[in-house]
Structure 1
Amino acid sequence: MKNLKIALSLLILICITSCDDFLSEKPDNRTEIDTPEKIKELLVEAYPQMSYFEIAETMSDNVFDSGLATTLVRNEQNYNWEINTEATDIDTQAYYWDACYKAIAHANKALEAIQELGSPASLNPQRGEALIARAYSHYMLVSLWSKRYNPATADSDLGIPYVTKPETELMTKYKRNTVAEVFAFIEKDIEEGLKYVTNDYKEPKFHFNVAASKAFASRFYLVKGNWDKVIELSNDLGSRPVGKLRDFSTYESIGVEDQQLKYGASDVETNLLIVSANTIVGRLYSLNRFNLSGLRRPEIYGGSTNLFNKAYYYNFYSSNGSITLFLPKFYEYFKYSNVTAGIGDPYVAEVLLSNDEFFLNRIEAHVMKGEIDTATEELEYFLATRTPTYNPTTDKLTEAKVVAKFPVIADEYTPFYNMTPVQTSYIKAIAETRRRDFIHEGLRWFDIKRFNIVVEHETSNKPTNTLVKDDNRRALQIPLHASSTGLELNPR
């Protein structure tokens, strides 16, 4: 535990550098980034160091009205798919928007500095990292603030501004690219960046190393429907990634705090990219009324939802008598700026990319290519790591079991591409597996968007709020401070 705390503390110190104030400076006053060392330092800031987890999670069907007496304003607004009015507060939509564009600005400045130094081959790893980091932040922005990717409408759907050059004015005005344009830019940056990324870092899990870059690329190509690319990227995992997935059995004998530390630790094999996020996400289980509730937990985690009809490894805890529950994932490190006054900032080591997601992406791609036998074998392997009493002799996954457990419901899953009934059952099984594994982390929201799943949110003494298919609220509204500069709002 001591070593884990030290590692987290070092992560915080690494992320809080002299480059923090770089973007707040008038361009003419900025320090020149004119050495490889300064470029490396700048790239530490090329990652969104705020959290989207609570925003995306609360909009999903993982969250219910728990009946808790109080809640944060933004929690209720996210639950009802509304814009946050606490525009400058931590964990708000605007906070994450700004964090992404700040990260993009650092990536762009690094790329400009590399070019000004003559683009030497020695700086190719930094070039690759900057390109992938730029692509990632833009991908997160378009995934949250735009409609889902659909090639039939992407040429006219509003995307987000794709920024490729450092700002030279304090108040630069931007136009929104279309979703098609944004995806084309992302793909270009990914393809170029993958040529150069490396594992040559003192702390590779805090950078876009090779595996993290491929995992992010697989997420992108899964959304685009490029199944061959997803499989190609994940070939190093193979069909049985022994020792590369999260080993929940090692969490059984340790306390809650140690489980939180372990989940985001850099020495855990599955963790590919970790960021030190300025967030109170670890406190929100007890602060927020709209959360995973004790009464509704069996709907998601009951043994009957397991394809082996057995209990899962996931062990939940509560700080309010099981009104709301949490899976121990987020250890908060509080950095005091004034110990006497009790003033400071909370940070959490958040896992942005993992082998667990990477492997599930691979399985989904096999399904969509019609490789059902391979998908069945790989899905059984994954589920076995989540089922403590799994018996390889008797717990055999079959197509019949998948179809029976996840029957096709008309118009439930409607991606932009066609699926056979068998594919639909498997895709639902994989999406439900991803839903459970990444509880509290927001990934379920992105599946809801790309599969166009209807979500119903119930609130006591109010009519049910239904997010219908293609509902405009599936795209977050542009933050007020961005729209006030002329950026076009999303339709409502």
Structure 2
Amino acid sequence: MKKIKITLSLLLLISISSCDEFLSETPDNRTQIDTPEKITELLVNAYPKGSYMEFAETMSDNVFDSADPGLFEPNNTQNYNWEMNEAVDTDTQANYWDACYNAIAHANKALQAIEELGSPASLNPQKGEALLARAYAHFMLVTFWANRYNPATADTDLGIPYVTEPEDVLIKKYKRNSMAEVFLYLEQDIEEGLKYVTNEYKQPKFHFNVEAAKAFASRFYLIKGNWAKVVSLSDQLAANPDGKLRNYESYLAFDFNTRLRVYGEATEETNLLVTSAQSWYKRSFYQNRFQLTGARQDEIVGASTNLFNKNWLFDILSYNGQITVFVPKFDEYFKYTNPNAGIGNGFVSQVLISNNEFYLNRIEALVMQNNFAEANIELQYYLSTITEGFNPATDIVTNELVVDTYPVIQNEYTPFYNTSDEQKSYIKAIAQIRRVDFIHEGIRWFDIKRFNLEVRHEIYNNPTNILTKNDKRRALQIPLHASSNGVEKNPR
């Protein structure tokens, strides 16, 4: 595909000299995005090419100190301590910040090109994809680099710069929008994008197709607290989405390499949006000191965490005995840049949005509407797909079972909205299922943020590091190259 020049000074991805060279060119010498085909090509790059999963997972309560001095990666240690990464390379916080704004730049350029072509109805599918891609990248940025959304304080809480236009100057200063502004822009882009998004792609799972768009919208509205919207978006899943959730049982028959590969494949029915991110994440499971450990795995994925007190329907594997363990989800494709020197980049297929998440979002929204009867039916179906030895005659979800298994602990789950004790128990149960199902994928950090959960990170021979409620470190510090260019830092 032809490389298209995009500038975005917020990233400082391109050197001053090359930016200056680009901006000094006459328009006739620049690549013109003036056909539907070029716009479609441009949108291939409107998705972040970096990965957030390593740093998001390491900041969560899914990881522990293996106390193995032979395992040491500086970024892993900084993430475990909720510090800003000093490095800016693959899998770092700054790398993902750049990847998101680079994706936004491509989406904005596509939207500008569509407008310059007169915004014909024939380009509505590209417009829908561009709007949703822009919203997704901004949503991920505000999730990591701002405090959690709270409508009571959103007008004054710092968000992130919401960029809606391509740059036309060499160095452009950006101010951070408030959380209220960011969420308003997100909702506008999502709602407008939903009008136009389509499934008409050669490979729809690598684009914002209709179901991926709805699932992403449900994630947004769950955080915003619009339960009716989440339920209406997910009506097609209903009570028994046969064949639409992940078939964990089928994975047990696969060999090790197939298990690594199949989880992130576009052919899996549950996978709605898949990307190939430049990442070394697969290697982290035998390189990182701070991760899921064999000694503590039962606290996260043991039978006691299952509502029916049964094992979860997947294997826990290890590269190094039982020091650190993992669920096989990530396979690496190594692309050589210099075969003779053995130099190249690793790429990992990662699931950004799935029916499994979409369905759990729906169940949580039903709970918040006090529709416990339907929530029980759907929760039981979900558990049937991920519980070893599930027995429909005896494994029945009831209000009593949920409340008894997940008793309320005061001041534990504290979203910005009010919840009854019964809702608290259900939220805790659903959060635990989400924690298990999306282990290693960073999704747990989203729940830690929105429910304001405390996280305790024990460190061998050192004091325990505690992320308290409303701890300022919950919002990642703005990357140095962005703050140096005028983006306001988060308070510390």
Work out the CA distance in 1 between the residues paired with 2:6 and 2:345. Answer: 19
Task: Report what 2:81 is aligned to.
Answer: 80
Work out the CA distance in 2 between the residues paired with 1:20 and 1:432. Answer: 44
Task: Give the Å deviation of 1:314.
Answer: 2.0
User: What do the CA deviations read for 1:403-442 (whole angstroms, capped 9, x no partner)?
Assistant: 0110000100000001001000000000000000001100
Task: Report what 2:422 is aligned to.
Answer: 422
Matches within 5 A, 1:269-280: 269-280=269-280
Work out the CA distance in 1 between the residues paired with 2:289 and 2:269. Answer: 34
For residue 3 of structure 2, give the secondary structure of its aligned residue in structure 1: helix
User: What do the CA deviations read for 1:180-206 (whole angstroms, capped 9, x no partner)?
Assistant: 100000000000000000000000000
Work out the CA distance in 1 between the residues paired with 2:163 and 2:369. Answer: 35
Q: Against the structure 1 CA distance between its residues 405 and 47, is the aligned structure 2 distance closer, same or farther, given a 3 Å change threshold?
A: same
Task: Report what 2:10 is aligned to.
Answer: none
Work out the CA distance in 1 between the residues paired with 2:289 and 2:474. Answer: 22
Task: Give the Å deviation of 1:21.
Answer: 5.3
Work out the CA distance in 2 between the residues paired with 1:291 and 1:229. Answer: 36
Matches within 5 A, 1:370-409: 370-409=370-409
Contact 1:75 1:290 in 2 (8 A): yes
Matches within 5 A, 1:283-322: 283-322=283-322
Work out the CA distance in 2 between the residues paired with 1:27 and 1:445. Answer: 40
Q: Against the structure 1 CA distance between its residues 101 and 339, is the aligned structure 2 distance closer, same or farther, given a 3 Å change threshold?
A: same
Q: Against the structure 1 CA distance between its residues 28 and 254, is the aligned structure 2 distance closer, same or farther, given a 3 Å change threshold?
A: farther
Matches within 5 A, 1:45-444: 45-69=45-69, 70-86=71-87, 88-444=88-444
Task: Report what 1:452 is aligned to.
Answer: 452
Contact 1:19 1:45 in 2 (8 A): no
Contact 1:20 1:45 in 2 (8 A): no
Task: Give the Å deviation of 1:89.
Answer: 1.2
Contact 2:271 2:353 in 1 (8 A): yes
Contact 2:402 2:425 in 1 (8 A): yes
For residue 490 of structure 2, give the secondary structure of its aligned residue in structure 1: coil
AA partner of residue 284 (structure 1): S
User: What do the CA deviations read for 1:42-93 (whole angstroms, capped 9, x no partner)?
Assistant: 000000010000111000000000112221101010000000001x211000
Q: Give the share of equivalent positions with the same residue, in percent.
A: 62
For residue 18 of structure 1, give the secondary structure of its aligned residue in structure 2: coil
Work out the CA distance in 1 between the residues paired with 2:271 and 2:72. Answer: 31
For residue 19 of structure 1, give the secondary structure of its aligned residue in structure 2: coil
Work out the CA distance in 2 between the residues paired with 1:399 and 1:71. Answer: 45
User: What do the CA deviations read for 1:327-355 (whole angstroms, capped 9, x no partner)?
Assistant: 11111001111111111111011000000
AA partner of residue 68 (structure 2): L
Work out the CA distance in 1 between the residues paired with 2:58 and 2:5. Answer: 31
AA partner of residue 338 (structure 2): N
Task: Give the Å deviation of 1:487.
Answer: 1.0
User: What do the CA deviations read for 1:133-185 (whole angstroms, capped 9, x no partner)?
Assistant: 00000000000000000001111000000000001123221000001100000
AA partner of residue 170 (structure 2): L
Contact 1:83 1:479 in 2 (8 A): yes
Task: Give the Å deviation of 1:388.
Answer: 2.4
Question: What is the TM-score of this pair, normalised by structure 1?
Answer: 0.95
Contact 2:5 2:31 in 1 (8 A): no
Work out the CA distance in 2 between the residues paired with 1:399 and 1:418. Answer: 19
AA partner of residue 316 (structure 1): I
Unpaired runs of at least 5, structure 1: 1-16
Task: Give the Å deviation of 1:19.
Answer: 3.1
Work out the CA distance in 1 between the residues paired with 2:463 and 2:395. Answer: 43
User: What do the CA deviations read for 1:84-141 (whole angstroms, capped 9, x no partner)?
Assistant: 001x211000000000000000000000000000101000000000000000000000
Work out the CA distance in 2 between the residues paired with 1:35 and 1:76. Answer: 47
Task: Report what 1:18 is aligned to.
Answer: 2
Work out the CA distance in 2 between the residues paired with 1:131 and 1:327. Answer: 34
Q: Against the structure 1 CA distance between its residues 46 and 142, is the aligned structure 2 distance closer, same or farther, given a 3 Å change threshold?
A: same
Aligned residues: 475
For residue 275 of structure 1, give the secondary structure of its aligned residue in structure 2: strand
AA partner of residue 73 (structure 1): P
User: What do the CA deviations read for 1:426-484 (whole angstroms, capped 9, x no partner)?
Assistant: 00000000000001100000100000000000001111111000000000000000000
Work out the CA distance in 2 between the residues paired with 1:398 and 1:331. Answer: 38
For residue 349 of structure 2, give the secondary structure of its aligned residue in structure 1: strand
Unpaired runs of at least 5, structure 2: 8-13
Work out the CA distance in 1 between the residues paired with 2:6 and 2:31. Answer: 8
AA partner of residue 79 (structure 1): Y
Work out the CA distance in 2 between the residues paired with 1:198 and 1:143. Answer: 26
Q: Against the structure 1 CA distance between its residues 20 and 97, is the aligned structure 2 distance closer, same or farther, given a 3 Å change threshold?
A: farther
Contact 1:128 1:193 in 2 (8 A): yes
Which range is displaced more, 176-185 or 336-345?
Answer: 336-345
AA partner of residue 19 (structure 1): K
Task: Report what 2:463 is aligned to.
Answer: 463
For residue 459 of structure 2, give the secondary structure of its aligned residue in structure 1: coil
Work out the CA distance in 2 between the residues paired with 1:294 and 1:194. Answer: 43
Work out the CA distance in 1 between the residues paired with 2:182 and 2:337. Answer: 39
Which range is displaced more, 70-79 or 25-34?
Answer: 25-34
Task: Give the Å deviation of 1:37.
Answer: 0.4
Work out the CA distance in 1 between the residues paired with 2:241 and 2:225. Answer: 23
Work out the CA distance in 1 between the residues paired with 2:150 and 2:24. Answer: 41
Q: Against the structure 1 CA distance between its residues 27 and 256, is the aligned structure 2 distance closer, same or farther, given a 3 Å change threshold?
A: farther
Work out the CA distance in 1 between the residues paired with 2:487 and 2:343. Answer: 35
Work out the CA distance in 2 between the residues paired with 1:20 and 1:473. Answer: 37
Contact 1:63 1:290 in 2 (8 A): yes
For residue 448 of structure 2, give the secondary structure of its aligned residue in structure 1: helix
AA partner of residue 82 (structure 2): W
Work out the CA distance in 2 between the residues paired with 1:66 and 1:171. Answer: 45
Contact 2:6 2:105 in 1 (8 A): no
For residue 352 of structure 1, give the secondary structure of its aligned residue in structure 2: strand
Contact 2:301 2:312 in 1 (8 A): yes
For residue 323 of structure 1, give the secondary structure of its aligned residue in structure 2: coil
Give me the CA root mean square deviation: 1.0
Task: Give the Å deviation of 1:18.
Answer: 2.8
Task: Give the Å deviation of 1:35.
Answer: 0.6
Contact 1:27 1:167 in 2 (8 A): no
Task: Give the Å deviation of 1:384.
Answer: 0.8
Contact 2:157 2:178 in 1 (8 A): yes
AA partner of residue 18 (structure 1): K
Q: Against the structure 1 CA distance between its residues 253 and 125, is the aligned structure 2 distance closer, same or farther, given a 3 Å change threshold?
A: same
For residue 463 of structure 2, give the secondary structure of its aligned residue in structure 1: coil
AA partner of residue 81 (structure 1): W
Question: What is the TM-score of this pair, normalised by structure 2?
Answer: 0.95
Work out the CA distance in 1 between the residues paired with 2:344 and 2:86. Answer: 23
